[in-house]
Homo-oligomer: A and B are copies of this chain.
Amino acid sequence: MAGPSAAVFAPLYRQIRDLLVARLDAGEWKPGELIPSEIELAARFHVSQGTVRKAVDELAAENLLVRRQGKGTFVASHHEPRAQFRFLRLTPDVGDTEPAQSRFLECQRVRPPVDIASRLGLAASESAVFIRRLLLMRGKPVVLDEIWLPGAQFKGLTADRLRAYHGPLYGLFETEFGTHMIRADERLRAVAADAAAAGQLGVEPGAPLLLVERTSYTYGERAVEVRRGLCVTTDYHYWNTLV
Protein backbone atom coordinates (compact mmCIF):
# COMPACT_ATOMS: atom_id res chain seq x y z
CA MET A 1 0.00 0.00 0.00
CA ALA A 2 2.67 2.48 1.04
CA GLY A 3 4.54 4.20 -1.76
CA PRO A 4 8.23 3.70 -2.50
CA SER A 5 9.46 6.32 -0.05
CA ALA A 6 6.76 6.09 2.59
CA ALA A 7 9.06 4.67 5.26
CA VAL A 8 11.13 7.59 6.44
CA PHE A 9 12.78 5.73 9.27
CA ALA A 10 14.44 2.67 7.87
CA PRO A 11 17.59 0.71 8.63
CA LEU A 12 20.74 2.00 6.98
CA TYR A 13 21.03 -0.93 4.62
CA ARG A 14 17.53 -0.28 3.33
CA GLN A 15 18.30 3.38 2.75
CA ILE A 16 21.38 2.28 0.80
CA ARG A 17 19.24 -0.16 -1.12
CA ASP A 18 16.83 2.61 -2.06
CA LEU A 19 19.71 4.86 -3.11
CA LEU A 20 21.00 2.11 -5.36
CA VAL A 21 17.57 1.63 -6.92
CA ALA A 22 17.37 5.38 -7.52
CA ARG A 23 20.73 5.24 -9.32
CA LEU A 24 19.54 2.32 -11.41
CA ASP A 25 16.34 4.17 -12.21
CA ALA A 26 18.34 7.22 -13.24
CA GLY A 27 20.36 5.05 -15.59
CA GLU A 28 23.70 5.66 -13.90
CA TRP A 29 24.46 1.99 -14.47
CA LYS A 30 22.72 0.30 -17.40
CA PRO A 31 21.60 -3.32 -17.68
CA GLY A 32 24.57 -5.63 -18.17
CA GLU A 33 27.03 -3.11 -16.75
CA LEU A 34 29.29 -3.52 -13.76
CA ILE A 35 28.46 -1.41 -10.72
CA PRO A 36 31.15 -0.16 -8.33
CA SER A 37 32.63 -2.65 -5.90
CA GLU A 38 31.23 -3.03 -2.41
CA ILE A 39 34.24 -1.27 -0.92
CA GLU A 40 33.83 1.66 -3.29
CA LEU A 41 30.09 1.93 -2.56
CA ALA A 42 30.80 1.73 1.16
CA ALA A 43 33.20 4.66 0.86
CA ARG A 44 30.75 6.64 -1.26
CA PHE A 45 27.88 6.19 1.17
CA HIS A 46 30.03 6.39 4.32
CA VAL A 47 28.94 3.02 5.66
CA SER A 48 30.72 -0.25 6.23
CA GLN A 49 31.11 -2.87 3.53
CA GLY A 50 28.80 -5.14 5.50
CA THR A 51 25.95 -2.67 5.22
CA VAL A 52 26.43 -2.30 1.47
CA ARG A 53 26.59 -6.07 1.24
CA LYS A 54 23.20 -6.43 2.89
CA ALA A 55 21.69 -3.84 0.53
CA VAL A 56 23.15 -5.58 -2.51
CA ASP A 57 22.02 -8.96 -1.16
CA GLU A 58 18.45 -7.72 -1.19
CA LEU A 59 18.69 -6.39 -4.71
CA ALA A 60 20.29 -9.61 -5.89
CA ALA A 61 17.45 -11.58 -4.27
CA GLU A 62 14.99 -9.38 -6.18
CA ASN A 63 16.89 -10.02 -9.41
CA LEU A 64 17.76 -6.35 -9.93
CA LEU A 65 21.47 -7.10 -9.57
CA VAL A 66 23.55 -10.17 -10.32
CA ARG A 67 26.63 -11.00 -8.29
CA ARG A 68 29.55 -12.82 -9.87
CA GLN A 69 32.29 -13.93 -7.56
CA GLY A 70 35.68 -12.65 -8.59
CA LYS A 71 34.20 -10.30 -11.21
CA GLY A 72 31.84 -7.94 -9.46
CA THR A 73 28.16 -7.04 -9.30
CA PHE A 74 26.22 -6.37 -12.51
CA VAL A 75 22.90 -4.80 -13.39
CA ALA A 76 20.47 -7.54 -14.39
CA SER A 77 19.57 -7.64 -18.06
CA HIS A 78 16.86 -9.41 -20.03
CA HIS A 79 19.50 -10.31 -22.60
CA GLU A 80 21.23 -12.74 -20.28
CA PRO A 81 20.32 -16.38 -20.89
CA ARG A 82 19.36 -16.87 -17.25
CA ALA A 83 16.70 -14.16 -17.54
CA GLN A 84 15.14 -15.52 -20.74
CA PHE A 85 12.44 -17.60 -19.17
CA ARG A 86 11.94 -15.65 -15.98
CA PHE A 87 8.70 -14.09 -17.22
CA LEU A 88 7.57 -16.98 -19.40
CA ARG A 89 5.88 -19.58 -17.22
CA LEU A 90 4.41 -21.60 -20.08
CA THR A 91 6.32 -24.87 -20.36
CA PRO A 92 5.84 -27.93 -22.57
CA ASP A 93 4.35 -30.95 -20.80
CA VAL A 94 7.17 -33.09 -22.20
CA GLY A 95 10.64 -31.97 -23.21
CA ASP A 96 12.57 -28.81 -22.50
CA THR A 97 11.48 -25.22 -22.95
CA GLU A 98 12.73 -23.75 -26.19
CA PRO A 99 12.81 -20.10 -27.27
CA ALA A 100 9.45 -19.05 -28.69
CA GLN A 101 8.98 -17.42 -32.07
CA SER A 102 6.97 -14.20 -32.32
CA ARG A 103 4.65 -13.26 -35.18
CA PHE A 104 3.57 -9.64 -34.88
CA LEU A 105 0.07 -9.08 -36.18
CA GLU A 106 -0.47 -5.46 -35.26
CA CYS A 107 1.29 -2.44 -33.77
CA GLN A 108 -0.52 0.88 -33.49
CA ARG A 109 -0.79 4.00 -31.42
CA VAL A 110 -4.22 3.99 -29.82
CA ARG A 111 -6.31 5.66 -27.18
CA PRO A 112 -6.29 2.89 -24.56
CA PRO A 113 -9.43 1.54 -22.87
CA VAL A 114 -9.99 3.22 -19.53
CA ASP A 115 -9.09 0.17 -17.45
CA ILE A 116 -5.78 -0.19 -19.27
CA ALA A 117 -5.07 3.54 -19.01
CA SER A 118 -5.68 3.53 -15.29
CA ARG A 119 -3.47 0.51 -14.75
CA LEU A 120 -0.68 2.27 -16.67
CA GLY A 121 -1.31 5.53 -14.84
CA LEU A 122 -2.06 7.37 -18.08
CA ALA A 123 -4.09 10.57 -18.25
CA ALA A 124 -7.19 10.58 -20.45
CA SER A 125 -5.37 12.46 -23.19
CA GLU A 126 -2.34 10.18 -23.36
CA SER A 127 -1.93 7.53 -26.01
CA ALA A 128 -0.66 3.99 -25.82
CA VAL A 129 1.13 1.59 -28.13
CA PHE A 130 -0.95 -1.48 -28.82
CA ILE A 131 0.63 -4.71 -30.01
CA ARG A 132 -0.96 -7.97 -31.03
CA ARG A 133 1.28 -10.93 -31.52
CA LEU A 134 1.19 -14.68 -31.81
CA LEU A 135 3.74 -16.76 -29.94
CA LEU A 136 4.73 -19.97 -31.68
CA MET A 137 6.41 -22.91 -30.02
CA ARG A 138 7.65 -25.85 -32.02
CA GLY A 139 6.05 -24.18 -35.00
CA LYS A 140 2.54 -24.11 -33.55
CA PRO A 141 0.63 -21.11 -32.20
CA VAL A 142 0.41 -21.26 -28.42
CA VAL A 143 -0.21 -17.73 -27.14
CA LEU A 144 -2.13 -14.78 -28.54
CA ASP A 145 -0.95 -11.64 -26.78
CA GLU A 146 -2.39 -8.15 -26.61
CA ILE A 147 0.08 -5.67 -25.17
CA TRP A 148 -0.33 -2.03 -24.12
CA LEU A 149 2.56 0.30 -23.43
CA PRO A 150 2.67 4.01 -22.48
CA GLY A 151 2.94 5.94 -25.76
CA ALA A 152 5.31 8.57 -24.44
CA GLN A 153 7.89 6.05 -23.32
CA PHE A 154 7.69 3.91 -26.44
CA LYS A 155 7.78 6.52 -29.18
CA GLY A 156 8.90 5.07 -32.47
CA LEU A 157 7.93 1.48 -31.71
CA THR A 158 6.59 0.04 -34.97
CA ALA A 159 5.71 -3.37 -36.32
CA ASP A 160 8.80 -3.21 -38.56
CA ARG A 161 11.02 -2.53 -35.60
CA LEU A 162 9.47 -5.42 -33.71
CA ARG A 163 9.94 -7.75 -36.65
CA ALA A 164 13.53 -6.64 -37.19
CA TYR A 165 14.42 -7.46 -33.60
CA HIS A 166 15.23 -11.00 -32.60
CA GLY A 167 15.20 -11.97 -28.96
CA PRO A 168 13.01 -11.43 -25.96
CA LEU A 169 10.62 -8.48 -26.09
CA TYR A 170 11.84 -7.20 -22.72
CA GLY A 171 15.35 -7.13 -24.13
CA LEU A 172 14.16 -4.77 -26.86
CA PHE A 173 12.35 -2.58 -24.36
CA GLU A 174 15.47 -2.45 -22.23
CA THR A 175 17.94 -1.64 -24.98
CA GLU A 176 15.87 0.56 -27.25
CA PHE A 177 13.55 2.30 -24.82
CA GLY A 178 15.48 2.30 -21.56
CA THR A 179 12.68 0.48 -19.76
CA HIS A 180 13.71 -2.47 -17.63
CA MET A 181 10.95 -4.71 -16.30
CA ILE A 182 11.72 -5.98 -12.84
CA ARG A 183 8.45 -7.46 -11.64
CA ALA A 184 5.06 -8.51 -12.91
CA ASP A 185 1.71 -9.39 -11.38
CA GLU A 186 -0.43 -11.94 -13.15
CA ARG A 187 -4.07 -12.99 -12.89
CA LEU A 188 -5.10 -16.26 -14.44
CA ARG A 189 -8.46 -17.65 -15.42
CA ALA A 190 -9.98 -20.14 -17.80
CA VAL A 191 -12.08 -18.74 -20.65
CA ALA A 192 -13.76 -20.01 -23.80
CA ALA A 193 -12.13 -19.09 -27.12
CA ASP A 194 -14.03 -16.57 -29.20
CA ALA A 195 -14.06 -16.93 -32.97
CA ALA A 196 -11.17 -14.55 -33.58
CA ALA A 197 -8.84 -16.08 -31.01
CA ALA A 198 -9.82 -19.58 -32.07
CA GLY A 199 -8.88 -18.76 -35.63
CA GLN A 200 -5.48 -17.38 -34.70
CA LEU A 201 -4.66 -20.21 -32.32
CA GLY A 202 -6.02 -23.02 -34.45
CA VAL A 203 -8.57 -24.31 -31.95
CA GLU A 204 -12.33 -24.69 -32.02
CA PRO A 205 -14.44 -21.71 -30.94
CA GLY A 206 -15.45 -22.32 -27.33
CA ALA A 207 -12.34 -24.32 -26.58
CA PRO A 208 -10.92 -23.65 -23.10
CA LEU A 209 -8.00 -21.20 -23.05
CA LEU A 210 -5.85 -19.95 -20.22
CA LEU A 211 -6.18 -16.18 -19.91
CA VAL A 212 -3.16 -14.50 -18.35
CA GLU A 213 -3.50 -10.82 -17.48
CA ARG A 214 -0.19 -9.24 -16.61
CA THR A 215 0.88 -5.86 -15.30
CA SER A 216 4.64 -5.27 -15.45
CA TYR A 217 6.62 -2.81 -13.39
CA THR A 218 9.95 -1.08 -13.73
CA TYR A 219 12.13 0.50 -11.03
CA GLY A 220 10.10 2.30 -8.38
CA GLU A 221 6.94 0.22 -8.84
CA ARG A 222 5.88 2.12 -11.95
CA ALA A 223 3.53 0.07 -14.16
CA VAL A 224 4.73 0.22 -17.78
CA GLU A 225 3.04 -2.68 -19.50
CA VAL A 226 -0.33 -4.37 -19.49
CA ARG A 227 -0.59 -7.67 -21.27
CA ARG A 228 -3.47 -10.01 -21.96
CA GLY A 229 -2.48 -13.43 -23.24
CA LEU A 230 -4.66 -16.33 -24.36
CA CYS A 231 -2.81 -19.63 -24.05
CA VAL A 232 -3.53 -23.05 -25.52
CA THR A 233 -2.78 -25.47 -22.73
CA THR A 234 -3.22 -28.83 -24.38
CA ASP A 235 0.53 -29.51 -24.67
CA TYR A 236 1.77 -26.71 -22.42
CA HIS A 237 1.11 -25.70 -18.85
CA TYR A 238 1.72 -22.69 -16.63
CA TRP A 239 3.99 -23.62 -13.75
CA ASN A 240 4.31 -22.04 -10.36
CA THR A 241 5.94 -22.72 -7.03
CA LEU A 242 4.33 -21.89 -3.69
CA VAL A 243 6.75 -21.33 -0.82
Contact = CB atoms under 8 A, between A and B. Distances in A.
Interface of A: 62-63, 86-87, 89, 182-192, 206-211, 213-214, 231, 233-234, 236-243
A191 B89 CA distance: 18
If over half of A's interface residues share one DSSP class (helix, strand or loop), that class is named, otherwise mixed; here it is: strand
Contacts of A233: 188-191
B183 A210 contact: no
A210 B233 CA distance: 10
A183 B89 contact: no
Contact of A188 (B182, B206, B234, B240): B240
A100 to B, nearest CB: 16
A208 B87 CA distance: 25
Nearest to A191: B208
Contacts of A185: 239-242
Given A183-B243, A185-B240, A190-B190, 11 more contacts: A63-B243, A182-B243, A183-B241, A184-B242, A186-B241, A187-B240, A188-B188, A188-B233, A192-B207, A208-B208, A213-B237
